[in-house]
Structure 1
Amino acid sequence: MQTWAKRGIQTALVTGGLLMLGTGIASADENVNPDSPAGPLDVNLSVPVDIQDNALGTLGKQVNLPEFHKEISTKPVTDAVNKASAPVTKTGALKPAAPALGATNGVVAKATDAASGVAQKVGQATHPGSQRAAVAQDAAPSVQDNGDPFHGNKVSANAALPILISGNALGVLGDATVDSNAQQNYEHNSDVSTDGSHGGLAGNVVALDWALPVQISGNALGLVGSGHTTGSATQSASTTSDVDTDGTNGGLAGNVIAPQGATPVQVSGNALGWFLGHAETDFAGSSEAESGGSLKTHGSKGAGSGNVAGVPVALPAKVSGNAVSWGGDADVPAGAYDAAAKAGDTAPGPRGQSYIQTDGDDSFLAGNVAQPQPAVPATVAGNAAAWIGNSLVGGGAARQSGGVDLGSDAKSGGTTSTSGENAAGSGNIADAPVAVPVEAFCVGGTWIGNAHASGCDNTTAAEAGSDTFTSGNGSFLGGNSVSAPPAGTVEVFGVGGSWIGNASGSATETKDVKAGGYTGTLGNDSAGSGNAVQVPVALPAEIFGVGGSWIGQGAGEASETKTVTSGGDGNTQDDNAAASANLVQVPVSAPVQVFGIGGSWIGQGAGAATTDTTSTAGGNGKATGKEGFAAGNIAAAPVSLPAQVHGIGGAWIGNGFGESENVTDSTAGGDLTTTGEGGSVAGNIVEAPVGAVASAFGDAAVWGGVVKGEGSNDVTSTAGGDAATNGDGGSIAGNVVAGQLLPVAQVFGNAASLVGVAHATGINDTEATSGGDIATSGEGGALSGDIFDVPAAAVAQVFGNAASLGGVAHAVADNATTGKVGGTDTTSGPAKALSGIAKQIPVGVVAQVYNIPAGLIAVTTTTVHNATDVQVADREAQIELPITMPELGATSLPQLPALPARAERSALPGAGLPELPALPTSVEGLLPNADLPSAAQLGDAPTVVFQQITDVVSGKGINIKG
């Protein structure tokens, strides 16, 4: 009987194994994904190479270089490795045997069921203790193979390096002429789909995608010969992959690391005229790259799960359409060159189309996101450079036909959403999108030669990242968000510079740059959660429309329309929380621009430029700290500072002409709203907005020669806005501390000459605003609803002055400056509980030096119109110091208007300055000897003691005007 029982058990094990194998085969057949190998490693590196239509001219012959078309790939090797390492249950290797095994499994199952029953009965009859042994055997540890020894972890590398070399003409001791139209396309997708839920160290993904097409086409070289090429080259590469995994209920599961690079490189359409050579190209180059995809995972109810590091990099780079000569001639009469890059993609999600989607609810250290997202186009195109030679791009100085069209487009990442509710250290976001195009185009530069670059038209778009959403409700250190999205430009265009030669540059451009977006989070019923930090920076930095020379001639001309946006609104909310839903904002908008400048030193320089610039950093800030502790507080320091120099003409023994038109709108931050009702250290606001302007324009200065500076300036600078909170029923809640600043410094419409002729015209329309109204309440609260506010304005301007020692200086200035800092402060509450107290200390100074003609054996004239209105907390500035002398003599000096005699001072408008009494010779009887009042005698206003001090500091009753 024991023999029969043993055989029955063996039969059951064998047939059961076959059944499991058949089931595994059927399951694999249902889940086969042709884009993702079943193995843990998927590496695909491809290098497609296309070489065609290239020629070498030498010794009176043109040699057409051989063509080459081949793809070098790791695919054959990696496919074999993947197949060998793949688990059986994840492949279709046994798929043909599945029908037969399925039928066999059915028959064997019935037999094993009967055999098992008989064997069990026989064993129990012959050996009564066998049942206990069976029970003991069932309780023994067992090992079960899940069919995947790698637990769904995957490493994927999808990279392509296409190389296109076409249409190049090299004339070396001979002539070469090429006409080519080449095209190269590469595309490979490798989506990754796996699962690490309910697993430990499972379902993790490392996915590298990189598309790097390299184009070297349409270049011409002349070296004691001639190279000439025409045609086009079009190249694209795509290495895409969406990632979808899961780490729910897992430990160190479902995490994703995804570097995604789209970096096309274009070196096309360049002309190199080397020693005694001529090079000419008329070409069109196009490069595109796309990499990566959307990233989706989960980390809820896990530990160290569902975290994502997405690194999309969009960096299109081109060095194209340039003409460079050294002892030769280089010509690029026309061309078109564009490059585009896209890194990362989006998929439908709870917040619309999203780049990253994950979660970390009910978890520990899960669902966190780190995402640096650069979109940085790089361009060096359409430039002309000569060193003892001639270089021409576009129409040039003599020809107005032709031109070079340039374009760059970069996009990385997108919207991100996660959550960390009822969790610890989960659902946090570190966001760093960067959108900063770096470009130099249509610049002409020479040293003993001619270099002209004209007719460039550039269009650039760069977008990095987007909105972020998270939630830390009911969590500890969860749902926090930090965003630092710099957006700006670094560029030089439309510039001509010479040193013993002639150079010019002219260009137009349209640019749209955006980094980051809205930041939203929650922290209800939490601790240290739902906090947000935003540091958006919008910084367009550029030089354009500048002409300069040293013993030569340099001319620059440029116009642009530019929009730069960094970040957006911030919103964080919580109720009944501790150290949660606090918001920190430090937005900075700072256009730094130099344009429309003409300068020379023993030569002639001319520059002309126009700009329409919009620069925006951050937005409104909203938080709530209702019935919370150290919650819903806001700290904001928005800074708007356009710093610009334009429309300047200057020369030292030469001529310099500068002309500019400037329209700039700079904004940093916005309104602030929060509440600390029923809270402790909650709903407080600390703000320090700075709405500033710093500019110099429409000025002219000469040592010996003729100069002219003409500048039109229309600038709006806004920092911050209104602030509103509430501290009713709270303790140290709903308070506002504000330092609102308005510094303005401008120099315009001034002319200065030593022994030359200087003409200056500055037309100014400046509007600066900092901060706004403040409203709060402290009803029923303690040390709540208080306001301490210092709005301060300092305006310094020098305009419409003409000075000459022995020449001619004419100055024209029209000034309209409007400034507003602070506003109305409103609060209420029981003063006895140090609540509802408002103290505002406005400080305003306006100092202007204008309309002063000063000459010595010279001719000087000034024409000035001034309209300045500066409001400090809805009042005029306390101190106004105008210095103006419209008919200053040759030996006179400008000075402040003299004060009238003591008897006449009472006639000064608003002066009210009483005559000071004689100083006493003794202090006896001067010191008070009355008893100090008790606390009860102070009444309902304990701060009345400080009233006189604050009145003096604020300048109340003091009004100094010239």
Structure 2
Amino acid sequence: MQTWAKRGIQTALVTGGLLMLGTGIASADENVNPDSPAGPLDVNVSVPIDIQDNALGTLGKQVNLPEVHKEISTKPVTDAVNKAAAPVSKTGALEPAAPALGAANGVVAKATDATTGVAQRVGQATHPGSQRATATQDAPSVVDNGDAFHGNKVSVNAAAPILISGNALGVLGDAAVESDAEQTYEHNSDVTTDGSHGGLAGNVVALDWALPVQLSGNALGLVGSGHTAGSATQSAETSGDVVTDGTNGGLAGNVIAPQGATPVQVSGNALGWFLGHAETDFEGSSEAESGGSLETHGSKGAGSGNVAGVPVALPAKVSGNAISWGGDADVPAGAYDAEAEAGGTADGPRGPSYIQTDGDDSFLAGNVAQPQPAVPATVAGNAVSWIGNSFVAGGADRQVGGVELGSEAVAGGTTSTSGENAAGSGNIADAPVALPAEVFCVGGTWIGNAHANGCDNDTEAMAGSDTFTSGNGSFLGGNSVSAPPAGTVEVFGVGGSWIGNASGSATETKDVKAGGYTGTLGNDSAGSGNAVQVPVAVPAEIFGVGGSWIGQGAGEASETKTVTSGGDGNTEDDNAAASANLVQVPVSAPVQAFGIGAAWIGQGAGEATTDTTSTAGGTGNATGKEGFVAGNLGAVPVSLPVQVHSLGAALTGNGSGVAENVTDSTAGGDLSTTGEGGSIAGNIVEAPVGAVATVFGDAAVLGGVVKGEGVNDVVSTAGGDAETNGDGGSIAGDVVAAQALPVAQVFGNAVSGLGVSHAAGVNATEANSGGDITTSGEGGALSGDIFDVPAAVVAQVFGNAVSAGGVAHALADNTTTGTVGGTDTTAGPSKALSGIDKQIPVGVVAQVYDIPVELIAVTSTTVSNATDISVAGQEPQIDLPITMPEMGATALPTLPARAERSALPVNVLPVDALSGAGLPANVQGLLPTADVPAMAQLDSAPTTVFEQVDGLMHGKGINIKG
């Protein structure tokens, strides 16, 4: 009685059937009789419709279309059903079913008692001395709560508001409108029930979905003119927390909760169709919020307290685009944003939490599965023309405006559960996804003009957060698997033309994060407290690119981007079997192409700057003290930036690519564990890969003029130090490591065939893989051993100029540093095969640079090189520089020894930020032939060539270090 009185008061306060039309504000209520249990089915589906300020221009006149304000809702039907169902439940009309329900509950009670006993016996067999394993457990107690439906609930709270406003359609006529429209919808549907001490009781299926649809501020011209201006603001909220309980129950207190926040915005688009003109100056805002927090319990139960939370945040907008086909389309200015939040939080044991449950002293209880996508989708501010003109934010002789774009998506949050002294309980499957997909400020034309300029985009996507669980004293409990991909898929600031003119320019700020910390416990357990983390951070994008075929294409873009996937991993146990093991496979791989200009019988120019931070995973900690197959740690962190930028290319045309790149990529971190007194415990297997693959500052031409000028500042780090201990153990505290440092770069090279090519690359690359390894095997057998293979392979081609019948100038300033592996430290009785340290460093550096090759042409190279690679504190065994300044067509390159290479000029070019046309003044001055210092030409006489070949065959100029 008290519960339903409270529920009725809450409903009366939150709702009341208020519906305000005209302004587009609507709400809905829930009709509940406080004197009787609520029915098992609560459905509230609403479609508010607001249509206003739309016009059609045709046959010389404008027709203002009628307004519509109405709501389509299930409320009349569901209210009637609830009223009819309440007396049935209250009067006991379902009493004939009571014996069957009672029998079912008795069966469930026996099943839960038996399964809990099995879990208890497994724990005792695994650790007979463990207090946790022998703790007294209360058997499930199933009690009839007087509710014929046993507190099971199905709740549907969905709304799809539709706003159609401010559209102007000029078809065989002119139409012009101004509109400021607003639509708001809210409905809260909390679900509170109880399935404790019940069988098949207190289970909840709660669907919350907010799907506002906005079609506003669009203009169409078809043998006519359409013009619109104004704004549209829309929001929808279908919220509701879920609270239930499955304690001491069988198949009770489980929750399935799909929660969708998916606003759709199609606003501010201009469509200039055949002999038509369309123009829009509009602002659109869309917002959706759904669901809430999820709380239940499954302790001392069987199949209870499990949760499947599915928050989906997907704001989508197709707005501010100008598209023409045989016409003219304009979007001089505008602002478009979309926000979505799915799921909510409530106070929990570890702060604000999305999901809270437990499965202590239970069987198959308190488990969590939570896919959590946060995926903003944007197609905005683009200009596309086919035999026409399309302009966004100005262009040509049009007044320059600006387009502001924004997206925010938040899904889920922190999750906590436990499965202590249980079997198959407290496990977590976590799959948050943060992946914005966006195309904005792109100009593309075929026989026409398309210019998309002045876009500024701000995007945030957050999916999931930290997870916590415990499997202390349990069997197959408290395990966690997390796969949180985070990244971007985007194209912006691009201009491409085919027989026409096109441009695109944009700036953006982006923050993307999926998942977080993963923590588990597995003390005194079997097969518990293990964790697997597979965080992947992949910013994939194309920006600042211009290309043309028989025309002009220009792209300009700049960005600041942070992408984070996962976080630290921690799992701990003592006295456990097959528990608290940790596997980490973090991957950070920025894949980017930017600042590229290419042309074929035309002109193409690209300019870009980026500041990218990509992080996957974090540190890893495990413990396996006095355990069996416990506390082992496997890690394969991979950091691999793959970037192509500042390239110029042309085939009978002009191409220019200028870029400045600052990238920091990190995968994984330090590793620590222990296997003291354990068996097959506290071992580490790691294979970090700290890699770099870039192509930048290069130029190639066949009949034309090109330049590629770039500054490249990249740091790539994988893994870190590793520490463990196998004292007094058996096959414990051992480390097997394969630490890799592959670096491949091509930059500052110029190639010309009957043209002029200028290339300049200023490079500062730092790569790190792995680190020190520390362990010990004192008093142990096959413990504290280290087998380590740190390997570095560095291949670089830079500062070379090749020309046949043209001009090629190459300029390169290279600073490459790399560190792989470190110091290995261990101790132990070698007669017991402990404390053995075997490290095999492998290092190869191969570089080709400062080689001019000319055939009836002019070439020049200006190069400085400082490469420092450390392999476990040693220099690479093979260091193979291939270089030859001012080499003629018939000459051969020399392979100087390391001592000769030290005489090369260092720091000829300052590594400063680009200025002016993309390089410092003193760097620009080095490009023209007139400013290059005269160099002695290589004597290409036959005898000289023979002597050099002979020297090469005898190994001169090659330095191989042992």
Taking structure 1 as the reference length, the TM-score comes to 0.85
Give the whole-Å Cα distance in 1 for the aligned partners of 2:743 and 2:286. Answer: 45
Give the whole-Å Cα distance in 2 for the aligned partners of 1:746 and 1:397. Answer: 39
**Which residue of the partner structure matches residue 875 of structure 2?**
876
Give, in angstroms, the shift of residue 82 of structure 1.
1.7
Give, in angstroms, the shift of residue 791 of structure 1.
0.1
Give, in angstroms, the shift of residue 76 of structure 1.
1.2
Give the whole-Å Cα distance in 2 for the aligned partners of 1:886 and 1:26. Answer: 91
Change (3 A) 1:401 1:26: closer
Contact 1:862-1:886 at 8 Å conserved across structures: yes
Contact 1:449-1:500 at 8 Å conserved across structures: yes
Give, in angstroms, the shift of residue 90 of structure 1.
6.8
Q: CA-to-partner distance for each residue in 1:841-898, whole Å, 9 max, x for gaps?
A: 0000000000001101000000000000000001111100000000211222324359
**Which residue of the partner structure matches residue 76 of structure 1?**
76
**Which residue of the partner structure matches residue 47 of structure 2?**
47
Give, in angstroms, the shift of residue 63 of structure 1.
0.1
Correspondence list, 1:617-766, <5 A: 617-766=616-765
**Which residue of the partner structure matches residue 63 of structure 1?**
63
Give the whole-Å Cα distance in 2 for the aligned partners of 1:777 and 1:959. Answer: 37
Correspondence list, 1:394-405, <5 A: 394-399=393-398, 401-405=400-404
Q: CA-to-partner distance for each residue in 1:491-537, whole Å, 9 max, x for gaps?
A: 00000000000000000000000000000000000000000000000
Give the whole-Å Cα distance in 2 for the aligned partners of 1:362 and 1:899. Answer: 68
Contact 1:208-1:260 at 8 Å conserved across structures: yes
Count of matched residue positions in the alignment of Structure 1 and Structure 2: 832
* SS state at 2:84 partner: helix
Give the whole-Å Cα distance in 2 for the aligned partners of 1:652 and 1:371. Answer: 52
Give the whole-Å Cα distance in 2 for the aligned partners of 1:805 and 1:701. Answer: 12
Give the whole-Å Cα distance in 2 for the aligned partners of 1:156 and 1:466. Answer: 26
Contact 2:749-2:798 at 8 Å conserved across structures: yes
Give the whole-Å Cα distance in 1 for the aligned partners of 2:857 and 2:773. Answer: 54
Correspondence list, 1:804-823, <5 A: 804-823=803-822
Give, in angstroms, the shift of residue 91 of structure 1.
11
Give the whole-Å Cα distance in 1 for the aligned partners of 2:582 and 2:624. Answer: 11
Contact 1:486-1:537 at 8 Å conserved across structures: yes
**Which residue of the partner structure matches residue 123 of structure 2?**
none
Larger Rg: 1
Give the whole-Å Cα distance in 2 for the aligned partners of 1:87 and 1:691. Answer: 69
Give the whole-Å Cα distance in 1 for the aligned partners of 2:609 and 2:6. Answer: 64
**Which residue of the partner structure matches residue 237 of structure 2?**
238
* SS state at 2:761 partner: strand
Change (3 A) 1:400 1:796: farther
**Identity of paired residues, percent?**
85
Contact 1:40-1:86 at 8 Å conserved across structures: no
Contact 1:87-1:147 at 8 Å conserved across structures: no
Give the whole-Å Cα distance in 2 for the aligned partners of 1:823 and 1:800. Answer: 32
Give, in angstroms, the shift of residue 31 of structure 1.
5.9
* SS state at 1:78 partner: helix
Q: CA-to-partner distance for each residue in 1:428-449, whole Å, 9 max, x for gaps?
A: 0000000000000000000000
* SS state at 1:726 partner: coil
Contact 1:212-1:263 at 8 Å conserved across structures: yes
Q: For residue 55 of structure 2, what is the amino acid of its counterpart?
A: A
Greater shift, 31-40 or 351-360, is seen at 31-40
Q: For residue 613 of structure 2, what is the amino acid of its counterpart?
A: T
Q: For residue 60 of structure 1, what is the amino acid of its counterpart?
A: G
* SS state at 1:704 partner: strand
Change (3 A) 1:959 1:362: farther
**Which residue of the partner structure matches residue 163 of structure 1?**
162
Give the whole-Å Cα distance in 2 for the aligned partners of 1:173 and 1:210. Answer: 41
Change (3 A) 1:825 1:506: same
Q: For residue 42 of structure 1, what is the amino acid of its counterpart?
A: D
Correspondence list, 1:797-876, <5 A: 797-876=796-875
Change (3 A) 1:91 1:806: farther
Give, in angstroms, the shift of residue 397 of structure 1.
4.3
Q: For residue 525 of structure 2, what is the amino acid of its counterpart?
A: S
Change (3 A) 1:731 1:267: same
Q: CA-to-partner distance for each residue in 1:76-119, whole Å, 9 max, x for gaps?
A: 10111122223667799xxxxxxxxxxxxxxxxxxxxxxxxxxx
Q: For residue 256 of structure 1, what is the amino acid of its counterpart?
A: V
Contact 1:606-1:656 at 8 Å conserved across structures: yes
Change (3 A) 1:899 1:79: closer
Give, in angstroms, the shift of residue 899 of structure 1.
13
Change (3 A) 1:898 1:867: closer
Give, in angstroms, the shift of residue 28 of structure 1.
4.9
Give the whole-Å Cα distance in 2 for the aligned partners of 1:31 and 1:455. Answer: 52
**Does structure 1 residue 328 correspond to structure 2 residue 309?**
no
**Which residue of the partner structure matches residue 132 of structure 2?**
none
Give the whole-Å Cα distance in 1 for the aligned partners of 2:856 and 2:521. Answer: 73
Contact 1:40-1:82 at 8 Å conserved across structures: no
Give the whole-Å Cα distance in 1 for the aligned partners of 2:2 and 2:48. Answer: 38
* SS state at 2:149 partner: coil
Give, in angstroms, the shift of residue 147 of structure 1.
3.1
Q: For residue 253 of structure 1, what is the amino acid of its counterpart?
A: A
Structure 1 outlier segments of 4+, above 6 Å:
88-92
Give the whole-Å Cα distance in 1 for the aligned partners of 2:69 and 2:352. Answer: 40
**Which residue of the partner structure matches residue 366 of structure 2?**
367
Contact 2:298-2:304 at 8 Å conserved across structures: yes
**Which residue of the partner structure matches residue 271 of structure 1?**
270
Contact 2:200-2:252 at 8 Å conserved across structures: yes
Contact 1:28-1:89 at 8 Å conserved across structures: no
Give the whole-Å Cα distance in 2 for the aligned partners of 1:754 and 1:686. Answer: 52
Contact 1:578-1:630 at 8 Å conserved across structures: yes
Give the whole-Å Cα distance in 1 for the aligned partners of 2:216 and 2:834. Answer: 74
Change (3 A) 1:577 1:400: farther
* SS state at 1:77 partner: helix
Give the whole-Å Cα distance in 2 for the aligned partners of 1:248 and 1:615. Answer: 43
Q: For residue 811 of structure 2, what is the amino acid of its counterpart?
A: V
Change (3 A) 1:886 1:733: same
Contact 2:898-2:959 at 8 Å conserved across structures: no
Give, in angstroms, the shift of residue 205 of structure 1.
0.1
Greater shift, 889-898 or 261-270, is seen at 889-898
Contact 2:46-2:74 at 8 Å conserved across structures: yes
Change (3 A) 1:858 1:248: same
**Which residue of the partner structure matches residue 136 of structure 1?**
none
Give the whole-Å Cα distance in 1 for the aligned partners of 2:814 and 2:627. Answer: 51
Change (3 A) 1:238 1:898: closer
Give the whole-Å Cα distance in 1 for the aligned partners of 2:143 and 2:830. Answer: 74
**Does structure 1 residue 296 correspond to structure 2 residue 301?**
no
Change (3 A) 1:61 1:473: same
Give the whole-Å Cα distance in 2 for the aligned partners of 1:755 and 1:740. Answer: 46
Change (3 A) 1:380 1:238: same
Correspondence list, 1:509-520, <5 A: 509-520=508-519
Q: For residue 242 of structure 1, what is the amino acid of its counterpart?
A: D
Contact 2:879-2:898 at 8 Å conserved across structures: no
Give the whole-Å Cα distance in 2 for the aligned partners of 1:677 and 1:86. Answer: 63
**Which residue of the partner structure matches residue 920 of structure 1?**
none
Q: For residue 673 of structure 1, what is the amino acid of its counterpart?
A: S
